[in-house]
Structure formats: C-alpha cells, structure tokens
C-alpha cells in the first residue's frame, strides 16, 4: 500500500499526521499477530496487576523491596499500554494514521515510563545494596519516607527527560514523507523524517540517552560489585544463597531491559536497521513487561509464598 506524502512550504512544518506502517509487510498474518499481541497484552496487565494486589494484601511483603516492585509492575502496565492498543488497532484497520499531537504524546509517555524504569531499576539496586551491605542500618536507611522520595524522584526524572526529548524532536521541521516505518512513534524512525541535516540533533539525543541510560546502569553496576563482594565474604553458604536469590530476579530484569535499550539508543544513525530495531523495540516494549511478573513470581520465594497464601484464602481446602 502506498501512502501519500504531505506538501511542504519553505522550511515550515506541514506534517499534520503520520502513518505508522507497523507490520504492514505481514498482512497475511495480521489476524494471527493481533491474537498474539492481545494475549500478550492481557497476560502483561493481568500478571502485573496480580503482583500489585499480592504486595498490597500480604503483610510479609510490606518491605522497601516490594514497594519498588509494586511501582515497577505499575510502570510495566503503563509502558505496554502506550504502544500495544494502537498496534492492535492498526493490525485490523486500513487507516494507520496518527495525528502530529498524538504521535508526540505517544513518544512522550513512552519515554516517561522508559526513563522512569531506568531510574527505578537503579533505585532497586541501591535497596539491595543497603539490605546486603548494611543490614544493621537498613531500616534506618530505607525508611518509608526515603522509599517514597526515591520512587517520586524516579517519576520526576523520567517526566523531565521525556518532556525535553519530545519537545526537542517535535519542534524540528518535518517535510516530505510522513510514513513511520515502525509500530509506534519511536525516536529514531521519527527523526529520519526531519528536514535537512540532523547530525547534531542526533548527537544531542544520543548524548542525552547515554546520560539517562548509562548513569543508572553505572549505579546498578557499582551496587552489584559491592553486593557480590559482600556476599563472597559471607561464611554461611545458606546466607550466600539467600542473598543471591534476592538479587537474581532484579538482575534478570536489568539485563533484559538495558541490553536492548543500550543497543537501540546509544549508537549512530548510520548503524540503524529498521527491521532489526523494530524487532528489538518489540522485545523491550512488549515482551519484557510480560516477563517481569513471570520472573519475579518464579524466581522469588516470598512472592510464590504470597501467591500460595492468597490462593488458600480464596479457595480454602475442604477437610
């Protein structure tokens, strides 16, 4: 299907809407993809809501670690909801357009939740560092007030970064093609539609993304270097295993999230591949959120115990 390009006048932005191609080159499997993504969205939302409910009602999970996990689960619901509903609508509709403002809003909220997750994962690493490296002072360090401030700080940082990025990109002049070869308004595909030489714009975005992604990542790395060093000094094998088990879920989520995010955002446009990046974006924006509740429920004894206790309360065994 060929989409019309909007006319331009001088250097003014004449684009009033964009066309999101999504998976238009897989029209023969559109209905199958729709069913697949519906299932993923349903499981993601249901799984993360279940994590939130379990943490809210189980007294054993009223700790800083699970306070941050509850925030992470809420983030994953929002994160997925920014892209999947529009993707599902585009799979069944011939009209794949999104307004200029709608595209900016989608990018903004996607960046808000993505940037907030970067910060929150770093906060969760700091929490594990405090619990393992300073166990006697842990209660004094991670007070309820401190937890709220760290979570709020993550949201504020994510919102400010997203506002700066979105404002910067959507005040640039757009002309010519308005077709986005992606399944949502991602930074790099939108940037390819900007008029003129975007080299310095690209450099500024890469620097900002590197700061946003690498700073929390370095904090996580330093925290886990200290954590591993402390764990290896423990004399009790049981203590070492317990300490490692409390970190394994978080480390798995960090590896999944940062692995794709670093590859996509911290590199020049010359190495940009539409097909590869579309797949990677699908992985970290759709697949990762569905894996988080699975990872935390399968690898975390406390969460599994809470699920079991809730199941017994809801469906008591008859004797």
pLDDT at 258: 79
For the chain, the domains span: 17-314
pLDDT at 178: 87
Mean pLDDT by 10 residues, the chain (319 residues): 48 73 74 90 91 86 89 92 91 87 94 91 92 90 94 93 87 84 86 78 72 84 90 80 77 80 64 68 80 72 71 62
pLDDT at 187: 84
pLDDT at 144: 93
- Name the token pair of 143: 């007070």
Q: Which of 23, 16, 17 is nearest to 1 (CA)?
A: 23
The CA-atom distances, in angstroms, between 253 and each of 17, 286, 295 are 35, 14, 8
What's this model's pTM, rounded to 2 decimal places? 0.85
Q: Is 10 left (phi over 0), alpha (psi -120 to 50) or beta?
A: left
User: Is the domain 17-314 a CATH 1.20.90.10 member?
Assistant: no
Q: How far apart are CA 103 and CA 109, in angstroms?
A: 10
Query: For the segment 94-115, what is each residue's pLDDT rounded down to a tens digit?
Result: 888 999 999 999 999 999 998 8
Order the strands of the 97-99 sheet from edge to edge: 97-99, 17-20, 179-180
Q: How far apart are CA 12 and CA 136, in angstroms?
A: 62
Q: Which of 43, 24, 169 is nearest to 87 (CA)?
A: 24
């Amino acid at each position: 299907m060929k989409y019309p390009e909007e006319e331009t006048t001088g250097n003014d932005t004449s684009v009033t809407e964009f066309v999101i191609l999504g998976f238009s080159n897989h029209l023969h499997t559109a209905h199958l993809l729709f069913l697949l993504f519906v299932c993923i969205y349903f499981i993601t939302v249901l799984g993360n809501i279940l994590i939130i409910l379990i943490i809210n009602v189980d007294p054993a999970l009223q700790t800083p670690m699970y306070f941050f996990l509850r925030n992470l689960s809420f983030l994953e619901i929002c994160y997925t909801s920014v892209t999947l509903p529009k993707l599902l609508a585009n799979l069944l509709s011939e009209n794949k357009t999104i307004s200029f403002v709608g595209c900016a809003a989608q990018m903004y909220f996607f960046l808000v939740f993505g940037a907030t997750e970067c910060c929150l994962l770093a906060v969760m690493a700091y929490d594990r560092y405090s619990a393992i490296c300073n166990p006697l002072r842990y209660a004094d360090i991670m007070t309820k007030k401190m937890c709220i401030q760290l979570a709020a700080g993550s949201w504020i940082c994510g919102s400010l970064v997203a506002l700066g990025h979105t404002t910067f990109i959507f005040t640039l002049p757009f002309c010519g093609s308005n077709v986005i070869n992606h399944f949502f308004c991602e930074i790099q595909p939108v940037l390819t539609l900007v008029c003129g030489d975007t080299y310095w714009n690209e450099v500024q975005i890469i620097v900002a993304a590197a700061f946003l992604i690498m700073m929390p990542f370095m904090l996580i790395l330093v925290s886990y270097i200290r954590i591993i060093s402390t764990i290896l000094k423990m004399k009790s094998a049981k203590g070492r295993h317990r300490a490692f088990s409390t970190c394994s879920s978080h480390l798995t989520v960090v590896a999944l999230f940062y692995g794709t995010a670093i590859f996509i955002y911290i590199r020049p446009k010359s190495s940009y591949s539409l097909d590869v990046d579309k797949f990677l974006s699908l992985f970290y924006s759709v697949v990762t959120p569905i894996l988080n509740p699975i990872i935390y429920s399968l690898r975390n004894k406390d969460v599994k115990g809470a699920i079991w206790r809730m199941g017994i309360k809801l469906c008591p065994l008859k004797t």
